[in-house]
Structure 1
Amino acid sequence: MIDYEKSLNPAQLEAVTTTRGPVLVIAGAGSGKTRTIVYRLAYLVEQGVPPESILLLTFTRKAASQMLRRAGELLNREMGMVSGGTFHGFSYMILKKFAPALGFPQGFSVMDAADAEELFKGVRNELKVGQGDKSFPRNRTILSYLSKARNKEVSLQSIIESEAAHLHDYLEDFKKLEEAYLLEKQKQALLDFDDLLFFLERLLTDNPEVLEYVRSVYGYVMVDEYQDTNLVQARLARLIASDQGNIMVVGDDAQSIYGFRGADVGNILDFPGTFPGARVIKLEQNYRSTQPVLSLTNCILSSMGQKYEKNLFSTRTDGARPELITPSSDMAQAGAVLSRVEELSSRYPLHDIAVLFRAAYHAYPLEVELNKASIGYQKFGGMKFSEAAHIKDVLSLMRMVQDPPEILAWKRGLGLLKGVGPKTAQRLYQAYCTSLTSGDGSELKKFETKNEQFAGLMELLRRQKNLPASPSSFLTEVLDFYRPFLEEKHMEDLPRRLSGLEQLEQITSAYNHLEAFLADMVLENSDPVGMQAREDALVLSTIHSAKGLEWSAVLLIDLVEERFPSRRAMQDPDDMDEEQRLLYVACTRARDYLGLFVPQSIYQRSTGFNQRVWPSPFVREIDTSLYSKVKEQAGIFSGEKKNPQGDGPLPGEVSPRSSRRSQTSAVPAGGYCRHKVFGRGKVVQALPPNKYKVNFPGVGLKTISGDYLNFEE
């Protein structure tokens, strides 16, 4: 027999042993939610409940299988008779059994994402919608908007207006495609991923005998991550369990952060009203973080609007207060974060340190600094900066001016032009190389007369060759040339890509020499993007991708208005609530150290200057006694352009060190240096103007900017 009282705290024990009627378990971050579900599964079986009458609904099959495995280990028996899986998997199983009742006498087939896209492609080709219009969104993009509208149960028009206003002119085409797609699915007896949920609801609502059968089979229902359910999933849970059935849902309203995917926090907030007499149990003891971290997260919770009151506490009462760091700008922030990472790496391995951000592009300046310092990292939730197609396009155009000419840059740059395929690009590249050695540019001029875009590109390159501009000025010209290609290739997500180009402009402004800029951008971290954590690699992650994970040290960047919360969220109260929950999720990932970075200015492409910004309203609401302000050496990051109107520090705030000693003197090979992360190493080769190959014992050969090395005299 399992000793439940010894294995569980009082609140967990109550949740495990309350098996009759509706139960809502509010599981605060790090409070042992999974452990509670596992022990409840075991308790039900020990109490004589047949495993086959238990339905466990989770958001991944992996989560369900792990819970069932752990429960089986507790009981020393198999739990295979329990129905455990996702809402979609359960729906498929029931629909298959009762397909004729849905009008599918011969059954139906379920399409995966690739199948759905292929079917949609056929419908679009038949209707000839968007043909010849290179700005027309891809099939996958249109399907994503259709899915989002369906899961949120709002009109397609409202989705387009709120999330893709630049595509409004295509709305009628989208509606026409949607109608044809639905008819084609029906004709071929096909269901897509979203259909599974809505068809099950229809089956149970329209067929009382099927509903009665399902209720008689599954006498005990458990739903994990209930705060992430959408409207139809909540209705399904109520249908299956009935208002007074034995249903336990587990979740945390303060961690409901997937509204953009259709999740509705109202499901968990309204549970007691939906299930009269529901018992509400709160898990508030945290097993992850120190109390100083939890005290700050409790303060974030206290200022939220509609919520379940809870107060996270821990037996780990020691530990330092979280830090609030206010760099002079978002570029200076990258240097300040790197300094913190270097300091923290003496206490924790790099893979136990995470830098979190609201949007993937916010990390771009930091990625450049990490590459220069040769610190390995993995990025979750978005591409690495230089891997994004539009960034690679622009960098290729800039690299086309280099000598000797780079064939890969020329092929990619010329590949943007109309009428230039791979073979023509190869021929033009060879003609350009010939013109440099022999002075014969006749073939190039001949093609210029036939291709206006090529002529414009060659003129741009000649100007840079003859009158070299600063990297920033050259980039401005390249972006003017590239903008029409960007709008043609990436119209469906144009705003996001423009934000990335703004970040590139900001990074470029810190350089005086084109060669140094391009070298730093090419010196990309070689680690592949993936969700498998790698030893000794710093973690960079969006907060959404970090949910459910934890690290000893967490650094949270860009806590300013219009970045966190986002500009769009600041116009909508519901979105603001979700942004605040997102901050709570981010802070509760930290076990020991929590650093909050609030830059005082942000680079604005429209003005070319750093514009003063205000701290996030969520940060302003935090009691100042709950964090430490860290005073560091003030400074402006190299290359920053301050607003001539004057954007001084915010009252009471200081700028941390954000620039490093320039290493201009030549360091001979054979000398020694020290790196904060890699330790003492031997200089193998100097790479002007300011890079060095260094051999670190136990680490190997690294190419590192001199800014991050201390050389021995």
Structure 2
Amino acid sequence: MSDLDLLDSAPVADESKILEGLNDSQKEAVSSPLCNALIIAGAGTGKTRVLVSRIVYLISHYQVKARNILAVTFTNKAAKEMRERIGMYLNANDTHHLWANTFHSTCLRLLRAYATQAGLTPGFLILDTDGQNSLVKRIMLDLKMDIKEIKPSEFASRISSLKEKGMRADDFQKRVNYIKYTNKKKSGTIEKLALVYSAYERICNQENSVDFAEILLRTVELLRSNSAIREIQNERFKEILVDEFQDTNSIQYELLTLLAGKNSHVMVVGDDDQSIYSWRGADYTNMKKFLNTFPDVHQYLLSLNYRSTQNILDMANTLIEKNFERVMLKNLKGNNGTGSLVSIFKCANNRVEELSVAKEIQSLKDQGVKLSDIAVLYRNNYLSFGFEQALTKAKIPYVIYGGQKFFERAEIQSALAYLKILVNKKDDTALLRIINLPARKIGPKVVESLRNISNEHSCSIIEAIEYLHEYVSSSDAAKELKTLYSKVSAFYNLYLELLSKKETMRLHEFVHHMLTLTGLYAFYSEKDAKEGKSEEDNSRYKNLGVLVSNVKEFEASVDQGEVSVDSENSAKVEDQLTLYLTNITLVSGGEINENGSAETMPFDCVNLMTIHASKGLEFKYVFICGFESEILPSSRKSSSGDNSLEEERRLAYVGITRAKEQLVISYANARTMFGKNEQKGASSFINDIVESYENSKNKPYKIVTKI
């Protein structure tokens, strides 16, 4: 026996210590025989502890060598946590030889070892997202494609999606040719995509580089085509464990089948009730497929929840039982007591909802609750803005998790830039942002010429254009300056028209008019459409509508005396515009950074995030806002069929199960969008829950009317 074998076989932990503190279901899963296994682990049921304990148990009880174990998860953070927790039980050598990585890290490790066999040169480079976008842009320009019509980032994303489905450029070209042949008509976009994908694949091979999707696809192709290498991996990995299995896509599932040999065992852990990433290619049906693909699968159910009170769990259980496509029915039971009733805030409108939530958070803060223990969740990013304002007004610090603050979003910055040049024509920073947005053929050379004139005359760029406007009307005007003015005259006329209109319209009406006249509405609507976003999916277009609503609310606050203004000039639109821009600058300046830090702000902050971003997290106090018709479930998902509706229900379930001690669900009967009031009302999911308890004396919720 080698020294390595001696080290691998060394005792690592007392078996009783490994199982200590586990409940019966967890013990059964951890100590299961060497077999294929599917563990359905409900929210908050301790799946990470089960995975860690299982790995230690394999080494301690079954004497499986650490180097023969592969544990795969989805994020570097989860992989690191798993390794650290395993390290508390194992000796250093075992920890070193254990494969506990993300899917990408695992595949990259194999590609590094077998680069030549995979068609790569050792030392190949990895393209990050920016690099991928830059390469696609270069290809599109070489092919004389309009990168303003179709963004390179859109094509880069679609190429990644095709790779995740296992489709190479040649395969995609054949598919495009078939579509052309059967439909007898051309589809310009997919034909262009096929050309770009083909060139992209060729150049990546020439430059010996791989993108993230390529790492997975090339590893699958290597194992699929090279039986010798596949057999080595089959012999190496005796025990394979996969976390968050409901989030695997088709290429990841095939990878698993290729890595597992005849004498290997695979244990997958997941919860189909928390499958919310179908838009990223995740396929929760892989859990059912696993039962059919792998022989003699043992099934285990973890349903004892260590996170939430029973009232919260009852809300979650009642909601999710309406889903029919479930691998295994489960009813979460908790060990934290009944807890307080879940509050359902029935709000007259979104403004009432925002203020009510802020007031409730202020009350919690006054009771000594740490703000970091509080989370405000919402279906879409555009819903965050009102809560940002309400919390700012209440002087409650917050951090937006996994997203930008409202006024930092590109489309809002663009809209504000137009407004800024109307009150300060010396603001070249604002002007340079939008002089060619949307595109109006004012390229870098034109801008450089304008800047040269402004430097010569010590004036702003707008003043340089004014100078050109006056000069070209004279008979001795130079031809090149006339040509330069002809390229910027449309923008200058737009600027003059906006100056005129802002003096005759209410501020919110003017902002809406500006967004239409400048083409920002149309530009961002097209941008959303090209990226496959609807109004419900955090669209830029809808964010512009939220801006109009915010301006209207600002006007109302001025009229009600909530914002101080010079009474002599308060009726002037330009003065209100200046006041508005000043007000939002102060609000934005008081916000903390996305990472939660700021020199002048405390670290204890309320967490704002989408429900998607909250998966895997937990908070003592949770507010799920905008829980209403056409938002959750979204109108688009509701009309897409039962599968989409079930995923929306799973999304709501994930939100509810983030709460540990107190949960507030809120909805508005009316919501202001694009300056107009839209009638909303309670989500059908709320109605389902209320209907389920119609004749019950022990309801887990209470309805609180807010007006």
What TM-score, normalized by structure 2, do the two folds share?
Answer: 0.80
Asked if structure 1 preserves the Cα contact closer than 8 Å seen for 2:524 and 2:540, the reply is no
Cα distance per residue 1:367-412 (max 9 Å; x no partner): 2223333322111232111111221121232233437975654554
Which residue of structure 2 aligns with residue 67 of structure 1? Answer: 82
1:311 CA drift (Å): 1.2
Q: Where do residues 387-426 of structure 1 align in structure 2 (5 Å cutoff)?
A: 387-402=408-423, 408-410=429-431, 412=433, 414=435, 416=437, 418=442, 419-420=446-447, 423=451
| Distance across 2 between alignment mates of 1:434 and 1:179 | 48
Which residue of structure 1 aligns with residue 157 of structure 2? Answer: 144
1:621 match: secondary structure:
helix
Query: Residue type of the partner of 1:518?
Result: L
Change (3 A) 1:599 1:590: same
1:447 CA drift (Å): 7.9
Which residue of structure 2 aligns with residue 238 of structure 1? Answer: 257
Cα distance per residue 1:521-570 (max 9 Å; x no partner): 22213311137897221111011211111111111111123221223212
Change (3 A) 1:488 1:233: closer
- Higher mean alpha-carbon deviation, 570-579 vs 104-113, is at 104-113
1:490 CA drift (Å): 7.0
Change (3 A) 1:424 1:29: farther
Which residue of structure 1 aligns with residue 378 of structure 2? Answer: 357
1:100 CA drift (Å): 3.7
Which residue of structure 2 aligns with residue 126 of structure 1? Answer: 142
Which residue of structure 1 aligns with residue 285 of structure 2? Answer: 266
Which residue of structure 2 aligns with residue 476 of structure 1? Answer: 512
Pick one of 609, 628, 652 that aligns with 1:583: 652
Asked if structure 2 preserves the Cα contact closer than 8 Å seen for 1:381 and 1:544, the reply is no
1:140 CA drift (Å): 2.2
1:294 CA drift (Å): 0.8
1:380 to 2:401 alignment? yes
| Distance across 2 between alignment mates of 1:331 and 1:38 | 46
Cα distance per residue 1:187-233 (max 9 Å; x no partner): 44433221222222222222322222111111111111111111121
| Distance across 1 between alignment mates of 2:472 and 2:23 | 77
| Distance across 2 between alignment mates of 1:285 and 1:559 | 27
Which residue of structure 2 aligns with residue 612 of structure 1? Answer: 679
Cα distance per residue 1:148-186 (max 9 Å; x no partner): 233256898999x9xxxxxx7533212211122122233
Asked if structure 2 preserves the Cα contact closer than 8 Å seen for 1:300 and 1:584, the reply is yes
Change (3 A) 1:456 1:102: closer
| Distance across 2 between alignment mates of 1:90 and 1:62 | 15
Asked if structure 2 preserves the Cα contact closer than 8 Å seen for 1:368 and 1:521, the reply is no
1:108 CA drift (Å): 4.7
1:300 to 2:319 alignment? yes
Which residue of structure 1 aligns with residue 635 of structure 2? Answer: 567
1:248 CA drift (Å): 0.8
1:610 match: secondary structure:
strand
Pick one of 647, 657, 661 that aligns with 1:592: 661
Query: Residue type of the partner of 1:507?
Result: N
Which residue of structure 2 aligns with residue 498 of structure 1? Answer: 541
Which residue of structure 1 aligns with residue 5 of structure 2? Answer: none
2:83 match: secondary structure:
helix
| Distance across 2 between alignment mates of 1:380 and 1:173 | 36
- Higher mean alpha-carbon deviation, 226-235 vs 453-462, is at 453-462
1:253 to 2:266 alignment? no
Change (3 A) 1:488 1:259: closer
Asked if structure 1 preserves the Cα contact closer than 8 Å seen for 2:68 and 2:98, the reply is yes
Query: Residue type of the partner of 2:553?
Result: A
Unaligned runs of 5+ in 2: 1-13, 180-186, 474-484, 556-575, 694-698
Unaligned runs of 5+ in 1: 162-167, 633-655, 658-713
Pick one of 503, 523, 527 that aligns with 2:592: 527
1:287 CA drift (Å): 1.1
Which residue of structure 1 aligns with residue 606 of structure 2? Answer: 538
1:90 match: secondary structure:
helix
Which residue of structure 2 aligns with residue 216 of structure 1? Answer: 235
1:57 match: secondary structure:
strand
| Distance across 1 between alignment mates of 2:58 and 2:235 | 17
1:38 CA drift (Å): 1.1
Cα distance per residue 1:417-451 (max 9 Å; x no partner): 7345572796799479999xxxx977665589741
2:97 match: secondary structure:
coil
Q: Where do residues 168-207 of structure 1 align in structure 2 (5 Å cutoff)?
A: 170-207=189-226
Cα distance per residue 1:249-280 (max 9 Å; x no partner): 11111111111111100111332222232111
Asked if structure 1 preserves the Cα contact closer than 8 Å seen for 2:378 and 2:384, the reply is yes
Which residue of structure 2 aligns with residue 708 of structure 1? Answer: none
2:338 match: secondary structure:
coil
- Higher mean alpha-carbon deviation, 511-520 vs 384-393, is at 511-520
Which residue of structure 2 aligns with residue 99 of structure 1? Answer: 115
| Distance across 1 between alignment mates of 2:472 and 2:383 | 41
1:577 CA drift (Å): 1.7
1:541 match: secondary structure:
strand
| Distance across 2 between alignment mates of 1:499 and 1:575 | 22
Cα distance per residue 1:479-519 (max 9 Å; x no partner): 12222586289734586211111111122221324455333
| Distance across 1 between alignment mates of 2:460 and 2:205 | 56
1:400 match: secondary structure:
helix
Asked if structure 1 preserves the Cα contact closer than 8 Å seen for 2:273 and 2:320, the reply is yes
| Distance across 2 between alignment mates of 1:446 and 1:317 | 80
Which residue of structure 1 aligns with residue 309 of structure 2? Answer: 290
Change (3 A) 1:151 1:531: farther
Change (3 A) 1:546 1:96: same
Q: Where do residues 434-453 of structure 1 align in structure 2 (5 Å cutoff)?
A: 450=486, 451-453=489-491
Q: Supply the RMSD in Å over aligned alpha carbons.
A: 3.3
- Larger helix proportion of the pair: 2
| Distance across 2 between alignment mates of 1:216 and 1:244 | 8
Query: Residue type of the partner of 1:333?
Result: E
Aligned residues: 617
Change (3 A) 1:442 1:270: closer
| Distance across 2 between alignment mates of 1:193 and 1:225 | 19
Pick one of 581, 593, 608 that aligns with 1:518: 581
Give the fraction of aligned pairs with identical amino acids, expressed as a percent: 28
2:519 match: secondary structure:
helix
Which residue of structure 1 aligns with residue 4 of structure 2? Answer: none
- Higher mean alpha-carbon deviation, 277-286 vs 76-85, is at 76-85
Asked if structure 1 preserves the Cα contact closer than 8 Å seen for 2:671 and 2:680, the reply is yes
Change (3 A) 1:542 1:426: farther
| Distance across 2 between alignment mates of 1:186 and 1:413 | 38
Asked if structure 1 preserves the Cα contact closer than 8 Å seen for 2:121 and 2:208, the reply is no
Query: Residue type of the partner of 2:89?
Result: L
Asked if structure 1 preserves the Cα contact closer than 8 Å seen for 2:52 and 2:86, the reply is yes
Query: Residue type of the partner of 1:20?
Result: L
Which residue of structure 2 aligns with residue 314 of structure 1? Answer: 334
Asked if structure 2 preserves the Cα contact closer than 8 Å seen for 1:257 and 1:582, the reply is yes
| Distance across 1 between alignment mates of 2:666 and 2:113 | 54
1:592 match: secondary structure:
strand
